[in-house]
Amino acid sequence: MSTVEKIQRQIAENPILLYMKGSPKLPSCGFSAQAVQALSACGERFAFVDILQNPDIRAELPKYANWPTFPQLWVDGELVGGCDIIIEMFQRGELQPLIKEAAEKHKEAE
């Protein structure tokens, strides 16, 4: 399986997916930490991929997503954006319904 196929599978299998540096419990950069805080405050479970443990994904994802930086939040197969966008959406109250909706859709599908 190619790296791009692996990325596509991860995005398809996880309705709420954060590509980040480190893990939600131990983020390895401030931007990832902020993204995790905002996502966690939405109250739904989300999947994550530690790009520091996956250098192939770290190298390929920016090209695939056409987004140069990490973290990257994907919801329902769509790239939402990075840390600034996540925080901005959270502060505007736009992130919470998006995350809740994706989580509920996934629960119904199970």
Q: Binding site for [2Fe-2S] cluster, residues? A: 29
Tell me, what amino acid is at 2?
Answer: S
Going by the annotation, the residues of the binding site for glutathione are 21, 58, 70, 83-84
Going by the annotation, the residues of the binding site are 21, 29, 58, 70, 83-84
Q: Per-residue DSSP letters for 50-84?
A: ETTT-HHHHHHHHHHHT--SS-EEEETTEEEE-HH
Backbone φ, ψ for residue 13 (5° rounding): -85, -15
